[in-house]
Amino acid sequence: KVNNNATRRCIQQCRSNETSDRPENGLSNGHYVARSGSIPADTVNLKRRVGLLSGVALIVGTMIGSGIFVSPSELLKQTDSVAVSLIIWALAGGLAMLGALAYAELGTMNTSSGAEYAYFMDAFGSLPAFLFSWVSTLVLKPSQLAIIILTFAQYTCGAFMVGEAPTLAVKLVATATIMLLLFINCYSVNLATGVQNVFTAAKLVAIAIVCVGGLYKFIEGNPATSDMGFGNAKQNYGKIATAFYSGLWAYDGWNNLNYATEEIKNPDKNLPRSIMLGIPLVTVCYVFINIAYLFVMTPDEMIASEAVAVTFGQRVLGSYAWIIPLSVAISTFGAANGTVFAAGRLGFATSREGHFSDILSYIHVRRFTPIPALVFHAVIAIAMVIPGNIDSLINFFSFTAWIFYGGAMAALLWQRHTKPNFPRPYRVPTIAPILVLIISIYLVIAPIVENPELEYLYASLFIAAGLVFYIPFVHYQKSIGLMEPITIFLQKWFEVAPTEVMEE
Ligand code: ARG
């Protein structure tokens, strides 16, 4: 571990420049993080700056992104029945809720940041935890960001151009937006959570506008869809799984707060509370917004529409139809901000354990933000945006993500067995992780069986490639000679320091 004099000097110098904002010894360690008993005075640590409101916003504001404005047609197309599609919307919300409640147990039992990484580390040890972070930091998190940001850029460019926006413009806007988000998140935790809160509030207002518009059509007496029944529901269960997947993307992000547990004030209470408030709120919004769309468009019109929300706006809002693309832009910007926030904490938590290069675990000595991990995340996301084809990214994403959600359920159940008496400030009914585990196995296997695509093979090969990296660099702790000077250089450049003094 690098714990050199340059680090100490850097901290001392920077500290002497400021007096009021001294770091608190606020890091409450989970089980495995406690490598140094008490936290020495010359280290910097993340601060607990996320309260209940910001906690809810980090969940709700990340979940509500692009999905709800575009996926409803897809669900309707797959199921061919209004009632079935509404049921799937509600069930996907239920699944997110059960999964998140299980994460509430995991996150209050182990209060280290990094979510799945921390839980795998505790339950299964170093290798599975490493492989999770390997896939997640290199592919999953950046591809989530790329998808959301590309949607943002499409809507923003669309607002200023007639017809289809040129790809180059979309990609440039996407790249610039990632840099803006990077700046916000590096600047301060308060700025990042402030942006998250404002954008979450704004997107909830936008959803309320859509719901009121639908209600108005209903009260007027001629809703477009009067029969919300089962219609000619297709008896094809494979299609239902695909429909479920489209819904699940809209709900993804339910675990977002678990990445930053070390920064939550009073996490034992605020983590479960944020989950219990946030996820039902999103579910209610999603079901209502779907009903509102249906009051304005027939199911066939919805299926034919490229972006349901936009068609809705043109029909209901008249000369105010621009509100909708603006809402999508606000919604996706907020979701992207929440994604960047979480991804920074994942890289930070992983490298603090020596699983990635040390520099990624350092935080800014005055801003207390994990700048190197954030920069790393943004660079990969930009690299994905440039060649980006959104559809293949989504396919790749859902498959690997559910392996890990299922893995976290297994970690919970396994720890119930291996550590029955370990304090669990929140205990989820056992049926929840069991159900989510079964569903996630189905969600991983079904698409491969139904429609074996090369992407699944690539994904598996990529996970396996993690091993090639793990054996020399993590297991045998081989270091590349060049890393030390690079680390020192970046450390001075970013003004970052390790979060705790580590034993040699
Ligand atoms: N649910 C969001 C959307 O509809 C996507 C969230 C991506 N996942 C994440 N963990 N950031 O756009």
pLDDT digits (tens, 9 = 90+) for 4-44: 333 433 433 433 343 333 233 333 333 333 333 334 445 67
Give the SS3 label for residue 65: coil
pLDDT per position as a tens digit, 206-259:
999 999 999 988 888 777 776 777 766 656 666 777 788 888 999 999 999 999
Instruction: Please state the separation of Cα 102 from the chain's center in Å.
Output: 17
C-alpha 434 chain-centroid distance: 23
The finding on whether 331 has its CB within 6 A of some atom of ligand 1 is: no
Which letter, b or e, does each residue of 59-78 get, where b requires 16 or more Cβ atoms within 10 Å of its Cβ?
bbbbbbbbbbbbbbbbbbbb
Residue 32's pLDDT is what? 38
Q: Is the CB of 393 under 6 A from ligand 1?
A: no
Per the listing, tokens 């420049």 go with: 17
Q: What percent of the chain has pLDDT over 90?
A: 50
For residue 457, report the distance from its CA to the centre of ligand 1, in Å.
Answer: 24
Distance between Cα 100 and ligand 1 center (Å): 14
From the centroid of its chain, how far is CA 407? 17
Counted residue by residue, the chain has a size of: 504
Residue 63 alpha carbon, nearest atom of ligand 1: 1
The enclosing H or E element of 497 equals strand 496-497
Predicted model pTM: 0.87
Distance between CA atoms of residues 51 and 340, nearest Å: 19
What is d(CA 120, CA 406) in angstroms, rounded to the nearest whole number? Answer: 11
At how many degrees (to 10) do helices 189-220 and 52-63 cross? 60
* Region at 253 (left for phi over 0; alpha for psi -120 to 50; beta for the rest): left
In the chain, the amino acid numbered 419 is K
Which residues, in sequence order, are CB contacts of 486 under 8 Å at separation 6+? Answer: 359
Per-residue pLDDT reduced to its tens digit, 89-118: 999 999 999 999 999 999 999 999 999 999
Largest Cα–Cα distance in the chain?
A: 75
Confidence band for 458, pLDDT divided at 50, 70 and 90: confident
Nearest by Cα to 155 from 42, 95, 65, 281: 65
Cα 405 to averaged position of ligand 1 atoms, centre (Å): 14
For residue range 73-91, list pLDDT tens digits in order.
Answer: 888 888 888 898 999 999 9
Query: Which pLDDT band, with edges at 50, 70 and 90, does 500 fall under?
Result: low
Contact by Cβ (8 Å): 407, 154: no
Tell me, in angstroms, the distance from the centre of ligand 1 to residue 249's CA: 6
Please return the burial class of 270, using the count of CB atoms within 10 Å of its CB with bins 0-12, 13-18 and 19+.
buried
Distance from Cα 436 to the centre of ligand 1, integer Å = 19
pLDDT of residue 47: 86
Pocket test of ligand 1: the residue of 95, 140, 144 to mutate, having most ligand atoms within 8 Å of its CB, is: 144
| Coil, helix or strand at residue 205 | helix
Ligand 1 contacts CB of residue 343 (under 6 A) = no
Alpha-carbon distance of 256 to 346, in angstroms, equals 10
With a 6 Å cutoff on the Cβ, whether 270 touches ligand 1 is: no
Q: What is the 3-state secondary structure (H, E, C) of 298-366?
A: CHHHHHHCCCHHHHHHHHHCHHHCCHHHHHHHHHHHHHHHHHHHHHHHHHHHHHHCCCCCHHHHCEECC
Q: What is the pLDDT of residues 346-386, one digit of tens each?
A: 999 998 888 888 778 888 878 788 988 999 999 999 998 88
Give 407-432 pLDDT, tens digit per residue.
Answer: 999 999 999 999 999 999 999 999 99
Q: Is the CB of 255 under 6 A from ligand 1?
A: no
What is the whole-number distance in angstroms between the Cα of residue 203 and the centre of ligand 1? Answer: 14
Closest atom of ligand 1 to 145 CA is 11
Handedness of CA 168, 173, 176, 182 (dihedral sign): negative
Please work out whether the CB of residue 63 comes within 6 Å of at least one atom of ligand 1: yes
**342 Cα to the center of ligand 1, angstroms:** 12
